[in-house]
Amino acid sequence: MKVAFLGLGVMGYPMAGHLAKAGHDVTVYNRTADKAARWVKEYGAKSAATPAEAAAECDLVMACVGRDADVREVTVGRHGAFATMKRDAIFVDHTTASAGIARELSEEAHKRGLHFVDAPVSGGEAGAKNGQLTIMCGGSAAAYAKAEPVITAYARQCKRLGEAGAGQLTKMVNQICIAGVVQGLSEGLSFARAAGLDAEAVIEVISKGAAQSWQMENRHKTMLANHFDHGFAVEWMRKDLGIVLDEARNNGASLPVAALVDQFYADVENMGGKRWDTSSLFARMEKLRADKK
């Protein structure tokens, strides 16, 4: 298919690469032209100067940008993709954004004879590089059915959860669960050290039982080594939790743990950890333990 990919960040760069390697005719756009040029050199496709130029005559347009405002800019902004997409083309937004922006842009796309699928991802940089992302989608069944075979170029799991906004709401559930798990693991590891246990040996045992999690399997070693220069940044997790808490205020959900962990991440930022991996909640726990001595 003729595909455009807008946004070549940590996630978008390899995702667009998988599309090119799958044989699609890919045009990329990135605000920083140098990165787009580097991508073109690596994958042999082409780049465009604006989202509108990249999206012209495409069957699908994918995007993975930063926030609601960025999604709005690349779709309906001055040089937005919606202006040049051909009728019945599908815009797939992989940004983690609000359900509100997904519904807004779905309505706008419909007015223009287009389709919009909100499709936030989970799996981090490693998942993007390995083509093993989990993708949660919202939008019409027909639009999803057309987009899904293309999305599988970088996904191990892709599922439609409902109409516009359902993908973003599902990603919110994902982030709520991760926040609690990472904090629990951080507390457990800190407690093990405080109790004089061999934390590695403890994990070897409990990881074979009900406490097992992806975070435990993939992050406990780096946490114990105080290595946080990798993975999903604290500032982005706080952005996501902000979206979650805003949505909870609207729908009445009670999220005491998510709200508390968001405050803990604010503490991590104050420690200089804005760009640290989300597992750096452990660094906060260890600082609290050290302060008590």
Q: Is 21 a catalytic residue?
A: no
Please compute Rg for the chain using Cα positions.
20
Q: Give me the phi and psi of 251, to 5 degrees please.
A: -100, -5
Instruction: Look up residue 174 and give its two tokens.
Output: 């994902």
Cα gap 100→107, rounded to integer Å: 11
Contact 167, 120 (CB under 8 A): yes
Amino acid at 167: G
Contact 36, 42 (CB under 8 A): no
Cα gap 109→136, rounded to integer Å: 20
86, 111, 171, 239: the catalytic one is: 171
> In the beta sheet, which residues pair with residue 136?
159
Contact 186, 285 (CB under 8 A): yes
Give me the long-range contacts of 35-43 (CB less than 8 A, separation at least 24). 35/8, 36/8, 39/8, 39/13, 42/17, 43/16, 43/17
259 alpha carbon, distance to own chain's centre: 19
Residue 31 gets which letter from DSSP?
S
Cα gap 17→39, rounded to integer Å: 8
Q: Which residues are catalytic?
A: 171
